[in-house]
Amino acid sequence: MKFRDGQWLAAEGVHAEYAEEVYRISPTPSGKGVSLLCPTKKILRRGDVLNLSTLTIDIEPAFDGVLSVETTHWQGALRRGPNFDLFPAGQPEVDSQVTKTDKGTTLSAGSLSATVSRKDHTFDISFHSTDGKKRLTALQNRSVGLAYTPAPTTPMQTNDMRDIKHYIFTQTTISVGESIHGLGERFGPFNKVGQTVSLWNADGGTSSDQAYKNVSFWLSSRGYGLFVDTPDRVELEIGSERCCRTQTSVEGQRLKWYIIYGPTPREILQKYSILTGTPGSVPAWSFGLWLSTSFTTSYDEETVNSFLSGMKARDIPVEVFHFDCFWLKAFQWCDFEFDSDMFPDPKGQIARLKAEGTVKKVCVWTNPYLGQASPIFAEAVEKGYLLKRKNGDVFQWDLWQTGMGIVDFTNPAACDWFVSCLNKLFDIGVDCIKTDFGERIPSNDVAWHDLAVDPKRMHNYYAFIYNKLVYEALQARYGPNEAVLFARSATAGSQRFPLTWGGDCESTPEAMAESIRGGLSLGLSGFSFWSVDIGGFEGYPDPWIYKRWVAWGLLCSHSRLHGSNSYRVPWTVDDDDASPEGCSATLAKWTHLKARLMPYLFAQAQESTRNGIPLSLRAMCIEFPDDPTAWTLDRQFMVGNNLLVTPIFEEDDTVQFYLPAGKWTNFFTGEVKAGPGWFTETHSFATLPLYVREGTLLVLGKEGEKRTVYDYTEDVEVRSYFVKEGSKAVLVDGEGKEKVVLEVKGGEIVGKNELKGECVFTVVE
């Protein structure tokens, strides 16, 4: 939200007041921080303290390298929930101190400090590394304030605030050349400078400024991150109100955020994961190919069987089969009952699918809504499971499902009921759940079961409690590391409940690029695992688009074929072209490659979850933070630490990509290129720019391996790419536990004797 009309004028209908000086500095109640009393005009004489507002800014140490900053206008305002679940693994101790020098008062939390200028009648708070070597950002003149809209003509009007909105805002400086990234799964420009961003979950597809997954955290190329600690709507003007500042505003009386010093993106994300939670682990089988029925297509048991037998006949292993919406009866979504007309024996069908070996796991689509045509709607109303309006009516509308209600997860009884429905699905053989929707949660004229929650704060937070409930139900049934979601909505902390996919994209190259930008941004928001609708969701993909999407889609952490009103089995896309360049052969090729990559992928997944970094799509700036070009790259990504991938967007088979400094080896041909530099190549559908980083020990499954789950220490191929002393590869078992460490010492690979079977060692250089 913009509060000014240019640099000099207030926006129409807005009255804003700014902290003009730091009048007094005192300890915070904890005794560890500093509390700043900041009047909204300069206090030059005794009478200036009357008839004006003040802002209190409390700066507290959180843990090493992290400070919290909370700005408050009226301290008596209620602190209503829900609140983010911070420090889920416990808050680390912090070595903090307050010092005073001729420059001002400095609060230090380990490696990060904030200095409040000691100059009279000034407002200037600088955030910097404690050693003084790195200036990060600052709150300067007229950068912290409050605003009213509509603008009152006299302070007397604020005795009735029912028709006046009140905002708190801060403006952190944007330095020359600084770029801002993250803020959830955003499909627009990768660098957010120049954008207006509203953090408010919405079902808007992948081709707008709306997002399914709004995360109130951004990461700066200058070596810091900033997490806004509220699930409420957050409005950001990132160089778009003042070009040199990021403005953060919320409606209310308080605004709290945490500033996180890295200085590297890895360190920032690791500290952010301490604050909001590390990503959950996922089982090895989930990395295999997922095949969906698609959305509004017609299907029954015979259709499902034909899909799976067709995939098997074309040598395309399917790990998970997904039943989308119409496993349920029309108008009854989502009451968890298979449509008996189409699926008279779902338990038997699932058992037969698994016994035949054409698929190992089964997933079904759900959402947290209930159409009134469902036989259980009346029971849900009677027992208070659904969200209500303020007058006591159940909240209903005809958007999506006729007369649908929304499950009220603030009601423990509703949660128990929802889990009991899930357990019935688990009883018939369902292994994982696609938790769709959860974005269009109303914030006006609603009353939650828990009357203490603020409906506006519940809008984004609903995604957290919805996915948490389903994820924990899966954990309770299948074990802590066997739970898998396929979620669309998310907010800060949702990385704890993997995994997510990128929502409704079109079947175009432009939508491929949008989706990649979304995945990169989400990865810079603390999420390790991400997927996409391969081939695009909306429309009918041309064969070339489908094949190009397959290639990079199988190099995402997770890979799913899914569409809207058309199937995504390959033979329906190109009239069953059986040539080596056909859709079926292309899908088989990339599915087999992912299977061979599993020793590398699954080991990298463990590191990703420990450190709160993305497995894939991993932005280039995470691996190469000192390369300015890496911060601009939004059409390529890393898979783990060592593999670089560039999707192809052109029908003429050409692609341009960037290689950072060092030697890079083409995975397919062994050709070596030296970076830094830009390169152009032409590729068949069987390849794309897949380059291996210098110094890599890459462990692959044996030639011809097509399974996702196997012994990653047996019959493997170990490739050396310009390795040096200390080059290392960690191998894990199917549960993610470290089993073998290969390391180059004295020119030899130490640890290879711990490998089993017939292993192949190849030097590629």
> Do residues 408 and 449 lie in contact, with contact meaning Cβ atoms separated by under 8 Å?
yes
Crossing angle, helix 509-523 and helix 543-553, to 10 degrees? 20
**Rg value, the chain, Cα:** 27
Vertex 288 angle, CA 283 and 294, to 5°: 115
Instruction: Please identify which of the residues 178, 319, 408, 439 carries the catalytic annotation.
Output: 439
Tell me whether residue 634 is one of the annotated catalytic residues. Answer: no
Tell me whether residue 439 is one of the annotated catalytic residues. Answer: yes
What phi and psi, each to the nearest 5 degrees, are found at residue 543? -55, -40
Distance CA 645, CA 682 (A): 14
Distance CA 201, CA 523 (A): 17
Tokens at 125, concatenated: 């708070």
Judged on CB neighbours under 10 Å (0-12, 13-18, 19+), 651 is exposed
> Do residues 387 and 394 lie in contact, with contact meaning Cβ atoms separated by under 8 Å?
yes
Nearest by Cα to 228 from 236, 238, 240 = 236
Contacts 24+ apart (CB under 8 A), 453-456: 453/80, 453/81, 453/82, 453/410, 454/80, 454/81, 454/82, 454/232, 456/232, 456/233, 456/251
For 546-556, give one letter per residue: b (16+ CB within 10 A) or e: bbbbbbbbbbb
> Do residues 569 and 307 lie in contact, with contact meaning Cβ atoms separated by under 8 Å?
yes
> Locate tokens 């409420």: which residue?
232
Residues in the chain: 765
The per-residue DSSP string of 183-203 comes to: EES--S-SS-TTEEEEE----
- List of residues 6+ apart from 398 with CB closer than 8 A: 404
Nearest by Cα to 112 from 274, 270, 268, 256 = 268
Tell me whether residue 436 is one of the annotated catalytic residues. Answer: yes
Q: How many CB atoms lie within 10 A of CB 745?
A: 12
Tokens at 492, concatenated: 């800060």
For 116-136, give one letter per residue: b (16+ CB within 10 A) or e: bbeeeeebbbbbbbbeeebeb
Instruction: Please identify which of the residues 58, 482, 504, 506 carries the catalytic annotation.
Output: 504
433 DSSP β-pair partners: 364, 485
Q: How many CB atoms lie within 10 A of CB 479?
A: 11
Nearest by Cα to 469 from 445, 494, 491 = 494
Nearest by Cα to 507 from 173, 206, 710 = 206
Distance CA 337, CA 261 (A): 49
Instruction: Please identify which of the residues 319, 436, 482, 533 carries the catalytic annotation.
Output: 436
Looking at residue 93, its amino acid is E
DSSP tally for the chain: helices H, then strands E: 11, 41
Active-site amino acid positions = 436, 439, 504
